[in-house]
Amino acid sequence: MSVVALKPGYTGEIKDRVENFHGQQLLYIGWEDHLMFCAPLCIPVPPTLPFGALTAQIIPDLYAAHPDASAIDWSKVEWFSSSQPFTPDLSKSLADNGLGHKASLRFRTPGLTGIKGSCS
């Protein structure tokens, strides 16, 4: 039983199917130990986007207001996909890196621990 409903066999419409996003898919991005940005971010991206565009442009722009942003060394960053350690191929697309619609991507920047080391 996946719902308690008056009508037998009731099913619900999945509101956030990828088809509803006009060719884009959703990607969630969270920066570990930097909670001044209160929650992970949600952005629409094309599935063909090369992973390298995230590190070259997109993520630095999203977090530009953080004083640690300019100190990120992308060669040392640790990645997690759905909370599991993950090694992206920067030259490949998000889809070819296994990041589908509503993928949850997190990154840790060793040595950077937010404002005064407070994980802010």
Partner 1 sequence: MNMPISGKPPKKLSLKENYALLTRGLGWETSYESMDKVFPQCDFEGIKIHDWDKWEDPFRLTMDAYWKYQGEKERKLYAIVDAFQQNNGQFNVSDARYINTLKLFLTGVSPLEYGAHRGFAMAGRNFKGAGASIAAQMQAIDELRHAQTQAHTISHYNKFFHGMHDPIHMFDRVWYLSVPKSYFEDAMTAGPFEFVTAISFSFEYVLTNLLFMPFMSGAAFNGDMATVTFGFSAQSDESRHMTLGLEVVKFILEQDPANLPIVQRWLDKWFWRGYRLLALVAMMMDYMLPKRVMSWSEAWGMYFEQNGGALFNDLARYGVRMPKYHDVAAKEKDRLSHETWGIFYNYTHAAGFHTWVPEEGEMKWLSEKYPATFDKHYRPRFEYWRDQQKKGERFYNKTLPMLCQTCQIPMGFTEPDDPTKICYRESHYRDNKFHFCSDGCKDIFDFEPEKYVQSWLPVHQVYQGNCFRPGTDPTAPGFDPLLEVLKYYNFNVGKDGGEYLDSEDKKHWEQWTGKPGVSI
CB of 74 to partner 1, least distance (A): 19
Q: In the set 52, 53, 60, 62, which binds partner 1 (CB under 8 A)?
A: 62
What is the footprint of partner 1 within residues 7-36 (CB under 8 A)? 10-17, 20-22, 24, 26, 28, 30, 32-33, 35-36
Decide: 20 and 102 in contact? Cβ < 8 Å.
no
CB of 71 to partner 1, least distance (A): 15
91 or 110: whose CB is closer to partner 1? Answer: 110
CB of 90 to partner 1, least distance (A): 22
As a three-state string, the secondary structure of the chain is: CCCCCCCCCCCCCCCCCHHHHCCCEEEEEEECCCCCCCCCEEEEECCCCEHHHHHHHHHHHHCCCCCCHHHCCHHHCEEEECCEEECCCCCCECHHHCCCCCEEEEEECCCCCCHHHCCC
Determine, following the binding rule CB under 8 A, whether residue 103 of this chain makes contact with partner 1.
yes
Q: In the set 39, 70, 75, 85, which binds partner 1 (CB under 8 A)?
A: 39
- Which listed range, 37-45, 46-54, 68-76, 88-96, lies at the site for partner 1 (CB under 8 A)? 37-45
Decide the pairing of beta strands 25-31 and 84-86.
unpaired
Q: In the set 48, 57, 82, 91, which binds partner 1 (CB under 8 A)?
A: 82
